[in-house]
Amino acid sequence: MAAHGSNSPIIDAFEYLYAEPEEEWLHRAFVEPSEYGRIASTRSMLVLGPHGSGKSALCHFLLRSMKAPSDKRLAVLFQPRQPAEHQSQHENARNYLTQIVDLTLRELLIYIGTNPDAFSQLPSWLHDTLYWLLQSHMQGHPVAVADRLQDQLQDDGAKLVRKILEKAPKYSLYKNPSETEIVREIAEVRKYLGLDSIWLFVDGFERWLDIDQTLLAEALQALLSILSLFEIPGFAIKLLAPSEIESTLMTSSGILRRRLDVARLSWTDDALIKIVEKRLALLTGMSTCSLRKVAEDDRLVELLREYGGDTPRGWLDVGRPFIDYYIRKNHQQLLNGSQFEEIIKQNPPRLRIDGQFDEVYLGYKKLERVPPGPFRVLQYMLKNHHRFCGRSELYYCALNDNPKEPQQGDQEYVDPGSWKSGFDNVIYHLRKSIEPDPRNPTYILSERGKGLRVKYVL
Amino acid sequence: MHKSRHLADDSIQDSQPPLLLAESQNANVKDIPKIHAWDEDTLLEIGQQSLGLYLGAFQHWEASEDEYLPEYIITKELPNTIWHDYGTFVFAPPGGGKTALRIYTIMNCWQRLGSAHPFPIQLLPSPQLYTNAEDQESILVQFLFRSALQCLAVGIVSGPDRFLRLEQESQSTLVHWLSKYLHGRFLRIIDMLRAGVPSWDIARMIDPSYVTGMPAVEYELQVQLAAIFESLCPEDDSNFTEHADIVSKQNFIYLVDLLLNQLGFGSIYMLIDGVDNELYGVEHPTEIKIWINQILSLLQEVPSERIYLKAYLPDELRPLLEDVRINTHKDTMRMITLEWTSSLLVEILRKRILFAADGLFDSFDSVAGPSCENIEETLLEDICLLPRETLVVARQLIIEYARRTGTNGGAIEMCDVNAARELYFQRFPT
């Protein structure tokens, strides 16, 4: 991993294309999306975007931007774990609240440790509120918490935090506080600590998409009900979610009551070009770097437009092989036409099917609807992409749903003469649907004696 | 009003986006990202300043945060049975003004001239309510009692006179209850009184959703109140044997008597709101009907005719509650559905502008270019006819104006109106 000082190249600028491993330098490659001004306001927001649209990058950028000492906003990042199947909606809700409150109190402690003056300005009548909150609603033993925070703080701050954690409140504020009361007390403490607001970032829903749909819907409802507690002055929620769960999220009362605004992450081609160029500049250690330095004319941009889809990840992923070549040539050599074509040939955009919507993609480009017959053949071949599939196998098992190829004499057996030309027609239409050049197929390859095989599968 | 109004301070005079100013102040801090876009909060402030509008008028989404709400929420179109001695069900969709009206009712009660004003008790749902347990009545009594006590605590710190005039025995009973049911918060109230914390801040610490809007209490009175509280506060809850841990119906009836006949309130309003709250609200509409009937039954056991139930409910509940016609003492419930017309919303928006402009003008037309007229009507055309939507689109107009003009100011133009509407429909497609 390269050192990430401000001038040295970032050699993994095109490596991961996920926010988490890029956290250290992502802000240097960040391009503000068109809705940024609204997303960065104090309004609570639901930010929706498809996979790879930059939600987590946006989250990390905002978190980082709030680290300035003069910034009076406290950032709390909550990445809810996948809900457990055996837990009820109520239990899930309680767990989420416990986690959010714990995270918030920890961030408040770090803030106090980093800004000891803030604590000295806290009115004496509020000290016991803070002690009560920490003792009653922070998870873990106070000593263990103090030890864990020690590394993040200077000596004075660490000592102050330890002292606060060891202090017992003179009185217990509530006997059985409701969730609303706990959150309200936190909001009051934050105010008197001199903080303008607490921003609660909720991110990391991608891993939820694989779970059972009913469980997903219930867990989302549980989470939304807890988040409604934070729709109060002093808090701003930034909920970053994949578009796949939009319909459930839009039923939230927070949306209906306009307590949560909705923003959809979208990118113009110009913005996407800028994103790729910024990363390229980081990779090369230059202050700026145009895509026109990588390949002749605008062919790279045209390719990205064609196959990169409309997300940053798409463009970065599709552009990666060309960038790799450019870097290998020490960014001295501009790719000419034949070199460009050669790279495409060796690294064509990957073929995949989106199982949820039965859509076919080349790279990040959604193809026009593939007719049903060819689609079924493609699905079957993708499942068996590691080998050749005979025509007969494809006819019976892909097109006609037979569990296995029948032999001559079996009831399901049909004379090949009666289906071969029809089958060839299916393959013709399949190639026509997915191949950039059907006469020179890249993806659906045939070999005499072996059958058909699909290549360059994601 | 007790808080001073203010226009934007000089911090927005610079021509750079404020966030870049913050960046320059952090010149020694490495790796803090540069931000180049104006965020919409900043644009709203800039726009209001340029147009000569008070900053608080378009800022608050929460009715409880808007201390000047009474200035612009009420029109003659709204029936005044809502905030007078009648049982009322007020129905409206989300964003239709229910909470704003509830808060206005509370403020209206506390700010009325004369001492015999109603005592409003707000009843917001809590998780303990919907258990349908055998002891449901007891749970309801606890809920009503504690809600009343909490509101009374706010009332006392906001205006101690009534409490200070009480007989000592009654003061003692109240203090014991406050100590027992507010727990440590009561001791915090005492600390805050002694520290001279402004009374509205103390009130907000008790319950930020219960806003009286009363002026500040003098420090001497606060100290006097704190002293009485301390002297009467039991040292140990276990010594408090007069009342059981569970509130009895008799306690509740005694509290009502104390409110009406000793503290001198003219009547009591029970204000129900938040039944569609995501976390604590009813799961099924029939539950609210059961709940309301239970409250009415309970209140009929209280020997006073001066208690009125007022509920602020989602409009889809109206058909279900049509037959709940009888108020606590055989008086008919008034059923009111808030129906906002375009002209009514224009009127309310203009009242807000008038207030924000300190009475100088009541329409955006007054700060617009010559080609602009009837801006409010144009702004609200085809939008969802709800007060909150009006606020959304009006804010967006000021933001779009500031996005175009920056700190240079100037007149509102039709392009700002069009941009605001376009964004509104883009973000909230109907």
Short-list A189, A144, A182, CA closest to A165: A144
The number of beta carbons lying within 10 Å of the beta carbon of residue A287 is 7
Quick one: three-class SS letters along A49-116?
ECCCCCHHHHHHHHHHHCCCCCCCEEEEEECCCCCCCCCCHHHHHHHHHHHHHHHHHHHHHHHHHHCH
Nearest partner of A36 among B373, B42, B216, judged by Cα: B42
Pick the residue from chain A with its C-alpha nearest to B42: A41
Structure-block tokens of residue A374: 């060819």
Mutate to test the interface with B, among A25, A188, A257 (most CBs of B within 10 A): A257
Confidence at residue B84, expressed as pLDDT on a 0 to 100 scale? 84
Pairwise CB contact (< 8 Å): B184 & A69: no
Distance CA B408, CA B406 (A): 5
Rounded to a whole number of angstroms, the CA Rg of chain B reads: 25
A-chain CB neighbours of B40 within 8 Å are 37-38, 41, 43
Nearest to A37 among B25, B39, B194 (CB): B39
The one-character DSSP state at B217 is P
CB contact under 8 Å between B183 and A123, yes or no, is no
Per DSSP bridges, beta strands A351-354 and A73-78 are unpaired
Q: Count CB-CB contacts under 10 A for residue B30.
A: 8
- Residues from chain B that touch A129, judged by Cβ atoms under 8 A, are 188
- Give how far B76 is from chain A: nearest CA, Å: 26
Token readout for A26 is: 């992502």
Tell me which residue has tokens 């008086």: B331
Sign of CA dihedral A83, A89, A95, A98: positive
Task: Give the alpha-carbon dihedral of B30, B36, B37, B42, to 10 degrees.
Answer: 70
Helix (H, G, I), strand (E, B) or coil at A33: coil
Chain B residue closest to A30 (CA)?
B33
Minimal Cα–Cα distance from B40 to chain A, Å? Answer: 5
DSSP, res A295:
B
Subunit contact B195:A124, Cβ cutoff 8 A: yes
CA distance B145 to B149: 6
Is residue A44 within 8 angstroms of chain B, CB to CB? no
3 state SS of A317:
helix
Q: pLDDT at position A182, please? A: 94
Name, in order, each residue with C-beta under 8 angstroms of B357's C-beta and a sequence gap of 6 or more.
B52, B53, B54, B366
Contacts with A188 from chain B: Cβ below 8 Å:
204-205
Q: Which residue of A has its CA nearest to B37?
A: A37
Q: What is the average pLDDT value for chain A, to the nearest integer?
A: 90
Arithmetic mean of pLDDT, B195-223: 93
* Cβ <8 Å between A69 and B26: yes
- At A128 the three-state DSSP class reads helix
Give chain B's largest Cα–Cα span.
75
Instruction: Check residue B69 and give its pLDDT.
Output: 78
Tell me: pLDDT of B410 over 70: yes
Which among B248, B319, B252 has a CA at the least distance from the CA of B288? B319
CB contact, 8 Å: A403 with chain B?
Answer: no
Residues 137-196 of A with CB under 8 A from B: 169-175, 178-180, 184, 188
Smallest Cα–Cα separation from A210: which of A382, A51, A45? A51
Query: How many whole angstroms separate alpha carbon B85 and alpha carbon B269?
Result: 8
Q: Which residue of A has its CA nearest to B99?
A: A257
Place of tokens 């939507």: B389
- d(CA B293, CA B322) in angstroms, rounded, equals 12
Q: What is the mean pLDDT of residues B198-213?
A: 91
Cβ distance A353 to A359 under 8 Å?
yes
DSSP conformation class of A141 = -
- A18 touches B at CB < 8 Å: no
| Whether A262 and B427 lie within 8 Å, measured CB to CB | yes
Of A30, A173, A258, the CB nearest to B95: A258
What's the Cα-to-Cα distance from B399 to each of A154, A166, B7, B45, B423, rounded to whole Å?
Answer: 42, 48, 16, 8, 11
A252/B192 Cβ within 8 A: no
Count of other CB atoms within 10 angstroms of residue B314: 18
Interface contact flag, B278 A253, Cβ < 8 Å: yes
Which pLDDT score is estimated for B376? Answer: 96
User: What tens digit of pLDDT does each residue of B76-108 get?
Assistant: 677 888 888 888 999 998 888 888 889 889 988
Give the residue among A55, A65, A395 at the shortest CA–CA distance from B26: A65
The amino acid occupying position B82 is I
A-B contacts (CB, under 8 Å): 121
Maximal CA-CA distance, chain A: 93
- Chain-chain contact of B184 with A174 (C-beta, under 8 angstroms): yes
Q: Which is nearest to A53 in space by CA: A298, A317, A386?
A: A317
Residue A52 to chain B, least CA–CA distance (Å): 22
* Chain B interface includes A448 (CB < 8 A): no
Chain A residues in contact with B38 (beta carbon < 8 A): 37
Phi and psi dihedrals of A419, rounded to 5?
A: -125, -10
For helices B219-232 and B168-182, what crossing angle results, to 10°?
A: 80
> Choosing among B191, B235, B423, which should be mutated to test the A contact, i.e. which has the most A CBs within 10 A?
B191
pLDDT of residue A314: 95
Nearest residue of A to residue B38 by CA position? A37
Q: Which helix (H) or strand (E) holds A314?
A: helix A312-328
Q: Which residues are within 8 A (CB) of A292 and not within 5 positions of it... i.e. 6 or more apart?
A: A298
Phi, psi values for residue A46, rounded to 5° = -105, 120
What pLDDT sits at residue A17? Answer: 85
The kind and range of the H/E element at A47 are strand A44-49
* Tens of pLDDT, residues B307-354: 999 999 988 888 888 887 666 555 678 889 988 889 989 998 999 999
Q: What is the mean pLDDT of residues B250-276?
A: 91
> Distance (Å) from the C-alpha of residue A41 to the closest C-alpha of chain B?
5
The reply to whether residue B94 touches residue A233, judged by beta carbons under 8 angstroms, is: no
Q: What letter would DSSP give residue B36? A: -
> Which residues pair with residue A74 across a beta bridge?
A198
Q: A interface mutation test: which of B278, B393, B428 has the most A CBs within 10 A?
A: B278
Question: pLDDT for A184-208, tens place per residue?
Answer: 999 999 999 999 999 999 999 988 8
State how far the Cα of B20 lies from the Cα of A259, in Å rounded to an integer.
Answer: 28
Q: Identify the band that residue A311 occupies on the pLDDT scale cut at 50, 70 and 90.
A: very high
Q: How far does B119 lie from chain A, in Å, by closest CA?
A: 23
All residues of chain B having their beta carbon less than 8 Å from the beta carbon of residue A171 are 183-184, 187-188
Beta strands in B323-422, from DSSP E residues, in sequence order = 334-337
Are A231 and A260 within 8 A, CB to CB? yes
Out of B41, B184, B195, the one facing A171 most closely (by C-beta) is B184
What is the dihedral sign for C-alpha B50, B53, B54, B60?
A: negative
Strands A351-354 and A359-362 come out as antiparallel
Cα separation, B250 vs B142, in Å, equals: 11
Measure the CA–CA gap between B260 and B263, rounded to whole angstroms: 6
Nearest Cα residue to B137 out of B298, B22, B4: B298
Separation of alpha carbons B212 and B156, rounded Å? 11
CA distance A162 to chain B (A): 24
What pLDDT, on the 0 to 100 scale, is given for residue B96?
85
CB atoms A232 and B208 under 8 Å = yes
Q: Which of A307-311, B38-42, B301-305, B384-388 has the lowest mean pLDDT?
A: B38-42
**Cα(B72)–Cα(B354) distance, integer angstroms:** 9
Residue B375 has pLDDT above 60, yes or no: yes
Q: Is the pLDDT of residue B15 over 60?
A: no
Given CB atoms, is A229 within the 8 Å cutoff of chain B?
yes
The string of pLDDT tens digits covering residues A106-144 is 999 999 999 999 999 999 999 999 999 998 999 988 888
Question: Does residue A72 belong to the interface with chain B, where contact is any CB pair within 8 Å?
Answer: no
* A 351-380: CB under 8 A from B: none
Q: What is the pLDDT of residues B178-194, one digit of tens each?
A: 999 898 999 999 999 99
Condensed to tens digits (0 to 9), the pLDDT of residues B128-162 reads 565 556 677 888 898 899 999 999 999 999 999 99
User: Residue B41: which pLDDT band, with cuts at 50, 70 and 90?
Assistant: confident
Alpha-carbon distance of A62 to A315, in angstroms, equals 22
3-class SS of residue B119: strand
B3-12 contacts at long range (C-beta below 8 A, 24 or more positions apart): B3/B67, B5/B54, B5/B56, B5/B358, B6/B54, B6/B55, B7/B48, B7/B49, B7/B52, B7/B54, B7/B55, B8/B45, B8/B46, B8/B48, B8/B49, B8/B55, B12/B42, B12/B45, B12/B46, B12/B49, B12/B407
Contact A68 B22 (CB under 8 A): yes
DSSP 8-state code for residue B260: I
Asked if A122 and A134 touch (Cβ cutoff 8 Å), the reply is no
Q: Return the exposure string of B184-205: e unless at least 16 CB atoms fall within 10 Å of the residue's CB, then b.
A: bbbbbbbbbbbeebebbebbbb
Contact B249, B153 (CB under 8 A): no
Q: In sequence order, what are the residues at sequence separation of 6 or more whose Cβ sits closer than 8 angstroms to the Cβ of residue B292?
A: B272, B309, B311, B321, B324
Chain A residue with the nearest C-alpha to that of B190 = A125
Using an 8 Å CB-CB cutoff, list chain A residues near B65. Answer: 233
**Cβ-proximal residues to B300 (8 Å cutoff; 6+ apart), any chain:** B328, B329
Residues counted in chain A: 458
Query: Using CA atoms, how far apart are residues A322 and A324, in angstroms rounded to an integer?
Result: 5
Structure tokens at B109: 């009660």
- Looking at beta carbons, which residues of chain A come within 8 Å of B184? 128, 132, 169-174
Question: Of A230, A197, A201, A184, which is closest to residue A73 (Cα–Cα)?
Answer: A197
Helix residue spans in B93-183 (DSSP H) = 98-111, 136-158, 161-165, 168-182
- Residue A10 CB coordination number (10 Å): 24
Give the separation between CA B249 and CA A231, rounded to whole angstroms. Answer: 35
Kindly state the average pLDDT of the residues A66-94.
Answer: 89
**Whole-angstrom distance, CA of residue A208 vs CA of residue A87:** 15
